Chains A and B, each alone.
Chain A
Amino acid sequence: MKRYLFCLFIFYTTVSFAQNANYVKENYTKIDTTIIMRDGIKLYTIIYVPKDSSQRYPILMQRTPYSVWPYGSSNYPPGIMPGKMQEEKYIYVKQDVRGRHMSEGINEEVTPYIPNKKTNKDVDESSDTYDTIEWLLKFLQNDNGRVGLWGISYPGFYATASLPGAHPAIKAVSPQAPVTDEFAGDDVNHNGAFFLLDNFSFMEGYDRPRQGPTYVYKVPLFTPTNYSDAYKFFLDMKTIKESNGPKYFNGKGKYWPEYLANDTYNNYWRSRNIRQYLKNITIPTLVVGGWFDAEDLFGALHTYEAIEKQSPSNKNFLVMGPWTHGAWGAADWKEFGTHQFGANVNQYFQDSIEAAFFKYYLKDKGNFKLSEATMFETGTNQWRHFDQWPPANINAMSFYLGPNNKLLHNKPIAAKSFSEYISDPAKPVPYTNGIYSDRNNEYMIEDQRFAATRPDVLVFQSDTLTEDMTIAGAIIADLFVSITGTDADFIVKLIDVLPENEKDINKQPGTTMAGMQRLVRAEVMRGKFRNDLSKPIPFVPGKVAEIKFTLNDALHTFKKGHRVMIQVQSSWFPLVDRNPQKFLRIPEAKETDYQKATIRIHHDATNSSNIILPVMK
């Protein structure tokens, strides 16, 4: 619940609405209505029509599961859109999606797309968007016949979902941090590892039941939690099974039991992977994401990639900035944690990219000469423009893990060499330093020295770089491991080690810059899924197995004088639930199934664990 409210709070407080609190009321007429879908279900929809009727306007629509608030024709919000967008004037439409808040019907988790619809009962987000647009075009008096869709996070998914089987009036779509594949890399699981902290706190609110349409979900499923230390709370929970027991969801929610029931990449998740349907798209798309987005970084990168590969001639743009989840909607974004960007990167994005995109494709106004990929380079803190992503001039360079904490350019030659640690589920490695109730939003750029001091975290570090090294694209971890259990998690962290003379920029705890081990990118692989997310297989204790997986893209410069560091660990708690280190269905694991294991990372001539970085030439 906390996070659910938190998201709404952030949106309505940080989005840069116009200075005048009455701006919306003075400039738009608000219409609350319901629109009937092909199967008879009514969706609650709010339409903001510009009062200036001297011209025709395109429709810009957002569909959301988080409420179109405020309800009632006489209740106006402080703003509709960030930045200059609402001054630009569109007919803004917001709709509660099927089964959420004031709309009828049943909500499905990331509604599966139905490619071959046979009857009026075959409905999905594409058909609901289609039916809504049909109705709007008939109802509205001064529209220009064009529709754009946008949304951040879950609404980003609904924007993507309008693309297959799109209504012909849709002329521009901007999926932003779109929820895309919740088993492979977004929100719920990354490579099959369950993101416990975020999902439990989110679903505590989101999975509340309703008896038909409602403004707010008042009735909790269980006594609301009130913990200040998430690490302790989830450790005390002992098992995932207990989360679905009498104290918590108790099998009564909809989504939570579905998450636990679907612990492999089965049809439930496959049918929800919208990427497979992004074929032959002919609608210009602006895909937006944040390098520090803890929820849908994967979604932004892979929605762009899926459209690019499967609709190669489409006008498909990618923008990746130095943002947390949805931070590009804030009025101001000059710094984040110990990163300082030198300028308000949001103004550039909102005015020169987002507003310009919709204006051009929906109003035929202005010039829109955006590069294929507009990417913020961390480390040097500058926007860079590419004509393809990842860029062509890349050299995939292996960095080998070696003995004595070394990260080496040369493949090891020793016949036998490994580093090892004991991974104890009773004392999992924290994902962040300090005490937090909700996920620490800065964990993706946090100083990893708190982890490096632990005996259950391996550290491999390069020599000091003699020249700048820029990486652009996906990072591949190629580990050769042996374990004493039959399953284990592997977390690989790519870290930029700042020089010992780096100056502090502030004096907050945890921000000492000299020697800081600043996280650039990290990812988890649940070992049993190493070969196939659909088919988990156990490890043979003591036998070397290869674990090869991809970390999300980065565009980062390791500057001269810095070092490259890799850390490897087998827990990341409570961001990710604990692996019992025994091959079984983790949602069914008992407390006694969680066992200590010794984890070896091999670095010999045959089993040469390495990290492949996309180094720009």
Chain B
Amino acid sequence: MYSHPTYDEWWKARNARNAMYNIKPAMLVVGGLFDAEDCYGAWNLYKAIEKQNPGIHNKLVMGPWSHGQWSGRDGTRMGNIQFGSNTSLWYQNNIEIPFFNFYLKGKGTDPNLSEATIFFSGENQWHNLNQWPPANTSNQPIYFQPNGVLSWNKPTVSKSASEYISDPAHPVPYTEDVHFDRTAAYMNDDQRFATRRTDVLSFQTDVLSEDLTLAGPVVADLAVSITGTDADFVVKIIDVFPDDFSYPGSAAQQGRAGGGSYPMGGYQMLVRGEIMRGKFRNSFETPAPFTPNKIEKVKFALPDVAHTFKKGHRLMIQIQSSWFPLADRNPQKFVNIYEADITDFKKATIRIHHDAANSSNIVLPVMK
């Protein structure tokens, strides 16, 4: 791995999608919306098979799960987030068992699975869809504005940016508290610990007056300038719960030490987070340095989302330049990071521009 720091032949040979031609078996691709390991894989394997094998039996199931949670007994919740029903048992009984019974044992009738059986977190409902992403979505950019505002309107000011200092000696943690292993729940954890930091930018909408459903990949389209020659960009899509939110039947809210359930009022639920190592912004094969202080575009796709931001909630986007130790630290200097010395790691100022010419935005797959 250390000898292959770019997307070279070694990695390309290992991209399983390249072999997904002339598929004969009935395919059932299953994944978790909150799978810390292979969320990308489930969405994109399905898409590759679909594209490269038109007309075959290729079905997609995505539930609100951590890695492999669909094979367990409890699919009622992941981390602090509840799903309203036992989604894993439902999947096993209604999809997995009938699928194998029919295709391997000839038992039962054709389960007639929908093309895509997708659980939408937020509204906590399964949707049976005849394509993924669904046809009735449109890509709508939502723009960063000064003072932490997120708006459907493009900014009109001539010069405006938000900035922070990214210090590799104090990287932004990917999760709260102290853990030895990577937590499963970081994928939908409360991001308030990050909001409070000086090196995390938060932009949020007004309180939503109606439900907002996202279905499909999210594209971050950032206009950035940095004082170094490389930097990471972590984009987080967050559902901000109302201040008075609580799950039915939960104990009184009083912190963790108080023995109550987690305080869900004002919860900042991570819906999707993804990182782009800046030097790969134009190409994974050919990394390129940044010119310090020059405004450049960093555009990348986050794995697909299936989530409803309910009326009364807010949509928040956070930007930060480290996600530690989930992702290694970027020295913020254009080097082969695997070869970087301790002295290569430098503080840098990161600017996210939000003016008329450089309108950083997030393209959301809004479902009607």
Give me the interface of A with B, judged by CB distance under 8 Å.
226-229, 231-232, 337, 422, 424, 427-428, 430, 433-438, 440-442, 447, 449-450, 453-456, 508-510, 512, 515-516
Contact = CB atoms under 8 A, between A and B. Distances in A.
Given A228-B243, A438-B254, A455 B177 contact: no
A511 to B, nearest CB: 9
A427 B197 contact: yes
Contacts of A455: 165, 167, 169-170, 197-199
B254 A337 contact: no
A454 B198 contact: yes
B266 interface: yes
Contacts of A424: 198
A437 B178 contact: no
B106 to A, nearest CB: 48
Contacts of B178: 447, 449, 510, 512, 515-516
Given A227-B243, A450-B193, A454-B170, A435 B257 contact: no
B177 A427 contact: no
B177 A510 contact: yes
B255 interface: yes
A427 B254 contact: no
B188 to A, nearest CB: 16
A516 B177 CA distance: 11
Nearest to A515: B178
A440 B257 contact: yes
B253 A453 contact: no
A424 B163 CA distance: 13
Contact of B173 (A436, A447, A453, A456): A453
B176 A450 contact: yes
Contact of A453 (B170, B243, B257): B170
A510 B262 CA distance: 13
B177 A512 contact: yes
A437 B210 CA distance: 29
Q: Which 10 residue pairs of A and B lie closest in terms of their CB atoms, listed nearest first? A: A228-B265, A455-B170, A436-B255, A512-B178, A427-B198, A435-B263, A228-B263, A455-B167, A229-B266, A424-B198
A437 B196 contact: no
16 contacts: A228-B263, A228-B265, A232-B192, A232-B266, A337-B257, A435-B263, A436-B258, A436-B263, A437-B254, A441-B257, A447-B178, A449-B178, A453-B173, A455-B165, A509-B256, A515-B178
Nearest to A513: B178
B343 to A, nearest CB: 12
Contacts of B35: none
A510 B198 contact: no
Taking residues whose C-beta sits less than 8 angstroms from the other chain, chain B's interface range is 20 to 34
Given A229-B192, A435-B255, A509-B177, 20 more contacts: A228-B243, A228-B263, A228-B265, A229-B266, A337-B257, A422-B165, A424-B198, A428-B196, A433-B193, A434-B176, A434-B255, A434-B256, A437-B255, A450-B177, A453-B171, A453-B173, A454-B170, A455-B165, A510-B256, A510-B257
A442 B255 CA distance: 11
Q: Which of A433, A453, A455 gathers the greatest number of chain B CB atoms within 10 Å?
A: A455
A226 B198 contact: no
Interface of B: 165, 167, 169-171, 173, 176-180, 190, 192-193, 196-199, 243-244, 253-258, 262-263, 265-266
Nearest to B262: A435
Contacts of A436: 254-255, 258, 263
Contacts of A509: 177, 256
B180 to A, nearest CB: 8
Contacts of A442: 257
Contacts of B263: 228-229, 435-437
Contacts of B197: 427, 454-455
Contacts of A226: 244
A445 to B, nearest CB: 10
A501 to B, nearest CB: 13
A456 B256 CA distance: 25
A427 B173 CA distance: 16
A213 to B, nearest CB: 33
Contacts of B169: 455
A226 B266 CA distance: 12
B265 A427 contact: no
Nearest to B173: A453
A434 B257 CA distance: 9
Contacts of A512: 177-180
Contacts of A441: 257
Contacts of A422: 165, 198
Given A449-B178, A510-B177, A228 B253 contact: yes
Contacts of B179: 512
A427 B197 CA distance: 6
A437 B253 contact: yes
A91 to B, nearest CB: 39
Contacts of B167: 455
A74 to B, nearest CB: 33
Nearest to B199: A455
Contacts of B254: 436-438
A193 to B, nearest CB: 19
A447 B255 CA distance: 15
A454 B169 CA distance: 9
A508 B256 contact: yes
